[in-house]
Every structure is written in C-alpha cells, then in structure tokens.
Structure 1
Amino acid sequence: MSEKRETGNVDLNEQFWTDKYQKDQMGWDIGYVSTPLKGYFDQIDDKSLKILIPGAGNAYEAEYLWNNGFTNVYVVDISEEPLTRFIKRVPDFPKDQLLNVDFFQLEDRFDLIIEQTFFCALDPKLRAQYVEKMHNLLRPNGVLVGLMFKIPLFDDRPPFGGNESEYRLLFSDRFSIDIMEEAYNSITARAGSELFIKMTPLEL
C-alpha cells in the first residue's frame, strides 16, 4: 500500500511503510481477502490472466488468487517487509513475481489490475498520475477492478478518502467507468464506506 510522497510533515516513503509493518500499525489490514474482490475473483474463468496488485501490502488477494490456480499474478510494494511476510505465508509463489519497486516506475502490461487500499495510500496530489499510470499499464482490453473509499477519512495522513463524483471526474478522461457503485458485500466494518469499481481503458 505504498509509494513515496509527502503530505504535510509526513514523508510517506519506503521507510515510513516499513516502520508501519514492523510496528504492526496496519489499521487498514483486515487479515484476509476482501469479500467484494473474492466475489469478483470467483467468477473469473480465465486463470491465465496477467494480474497486477500494486501497493499490495500483505497481499491476501494475491494469496487467494494463487491458491485458486491463478499463476500469472504480480505483487508490487515499495517496502520489502510485506513481501517478505508474504513469501513466508505462500512459499511456492514465484519470487520473480514479487516486485519490490516503485509502482510509478513499472514498465509492463497487464490484463487485470486490482485496486485494494493503494489509491487511498497515495497523496491525493498523485491521483492524476495514478490514473495515467494505470491506463498505461493495462492492455487495450484490460480491466481495473477494486475498492475505493467513499468517505472523507484523513487530510494529513493515509488513508485518504474521497467520493464518487470526485472519482468519476478523475478517471473519465482515461477510462470507461463500467461500474462505480457502493459495494453491497463489504465487510461489516466497511459497510457503506466502499465503492466497487470496474473500469476499462479508453483508446486515446
């Protein structure tokens, strides 16, 4: 859930996120695959899809996909700490598909990108750059799927929130917004607070 950015007096760099993991200060971490994404994964027939999970943190979504036969999954985080934890949980996961890099430096193309607590970790100043990078990383028929908070949250530290109208304005130049609606199957603690999104890149 991490990339380098500055917000107020907090430098949200690699060390910031590594410290969060080492001190177990991960309030965003629910400890398992989120139910809306599990439901989406369960209806995918093509298990050869090339999938990216950026800012993945402990990557329960990647673990679920891997355990259900999706072998072409790539996990990205700027902090090495969650990737180390992940490989201990899932030792047969290909290490070359665990990428300890800056999301914005990635150069590849994917069929499916999963958004799960990454967007809300970015400084809002980087949201336009996020949209552009997502567009560039997706293949022409690719899909961006995930969850985004529809509540204000914090202004000076992550997680940063937002609302549907803001997101539609942000994404509409680069994506066809196929679904952006309140998730009906959020976990109880996040009921009414999440939007489920499904978007496809526009040809420019």
Structure 2
Amino acid sequence: MNELNPEYWNRRYLNNDIPWDAGAVTTPIKAIIDSLQDRDLKILVPGAGSGHEVAYLISKGFKNVTVCEWAPAAAGRLLSRVPELAKDQVLVEDFFLLNGSFDLILEQTFFCALPRNRREDYVQKVYELLVPGGALRGVLFSVEFPFDRPPFGGSRDEYLRLFSGKFEIRILETCKNSIPPRSGNELEIYFVKC
C-alpha cells in the first residue's frame, strides 16, 4: 500500500479514523508557539490535519500561516474550524511539489506519516522551503513502531544522520511535556537551516 496518496488520507478523515488527533494543540507544540516572539513569521504547517496547532497560532496573533494538506477532507475540516484562515492559506497539494519560502516549519506527525524512503526527500524539501536561518521546530517520534503503515517511528541517531548535513541541531532531546499517550516517545526538535 502506498500511504503517501491523497485518497488514503482523505478516506481516513472522511471516516474519522484519525487516532493521532489529540483534540487540541499538544503541549510541546503549544510551548514552541508560546516561545515565538515575531508574529510576522512566515510559518508552514505541513500535514496539519484537523489543525489544532494552526488554530492556536491564529489565536496568538500569527497571521502569516500556510497549511499544506493533501487530504481535501482534512483541509475542509480545518477551514471550518478556523474561519480566520483564508482559503489560499490552506493548500491542498503535495508537500514535495510546494513552492515558497518560510521562516518556520512546524512539524508534528507529518514526518512519521511519510514512507521511510521519502525521509531524505523531506529533509531536502524542508531545506529548500526555509529561508537562510529558518527553522524546523516541533516533535518527532523517538521509538520504532511495529507497523507497516503510519506512524513510522525513528530514532535520535537517524535524525542526526538525516538533518545534520543541512541544519544546525539546536535541540534534539527527549520531550519533557508530551501528552500522556506520547510520553517518553517524542523528541523535541529545533533545527536551523545552515
């Protein structure tokens, strides 16, 4: 099965088969957003799904937020939940074909949904989309899962191997404020484009 296709993800949202949806912005992402000072940052949230972090960004005064979501059902859900977003801020398209430049890419449960053979492509695309000095921040799983479907886990060593050639690794450590179902299984990341 090719997990990286719009039909698969759209079906999951249409059937409300989204067990990863925490129902609200997660505590690590909330803390990252709360630490941001510049409300004019150009922010990309790939694979935002229901977009709890997007709603929180908007509520905190960030207006220059772009979502890249492959599933039309998820994009529709997000637009109805966050009416302050303009339709052109929610792009229903393939992340790997996206153009633009961003100061910050906020990562949560997108990387782990990609097939492992797309991970190097993800790193390259993030690098291309970020302005010089731009950052990738968020959380990545620090555990391997016994599934042949998403989520696909990972390890600190793998992330160092993938990202350290193109990014300054500022933070790559066990997340101390994960939500209970993910406690001990997440790494907070803060990678700055070299």
Q: Scaled by the length of structure 2, what TM-score is found?
A: 0.97
SS in 1 for 2:70: coil
Which secondary structure state, in structure 2, belongs to the residue aligned with residue 132 of structure 1? helix
Distance 1:13 1:125 in 2: 14
Distance in 2, matches of 1:88 and 1:177, equals 36
Pick one of 75, 78, 90 that aligns with 2:82: 90
Matching residue of 2:29: 37
Q: How many residues align?
A: 194
Q: Structure 1 stretches (4+) deviating beyond 4 angstroms?
A: none
Corresponding residue for residue 12 of structure 2: 20
Q: What does residue 58 of structure 1 align with?
A: 50
Provide the C-alpha distance between the structure 2 equivalents of 1:76 and 1:37, rounded to a whole number of angstroms: 17
Aligned pairs for 1:94-109 within 5 A: 94-109=86-101
Deviation at 1:45, TM superposition (A): 1.4
Q: Secondary structure at the match of 2:9?
A: helix
Q: 2:67 aligns with which of 72, 75, 99?
A: 75
| Pairing of 1:1-204 with structure 2 (within 5 A) | 9-202=1-194
Structure 2 unaligned segments of length 5 or more: list them.
none
Output the CA distance in 2 between the equivalents of 1:69 and 1:124. Answer: 35
Contiguous gaps of at least 5 residues in structure 1: 1-8
How big is the shift at 1:67? 1.2
Distance in 2 (alpha carbons) for counterparts of 1:12 and 1:198: 25
1:11 deviation in Å? 4.6
What CA RMSD, in Å, does the superposition of the two structures yield over aligned residues? 1.0
Asked if structure 2 preserves the Cα contact closer than 8 Å seen for 1:33 and 1:61, the reply is yes
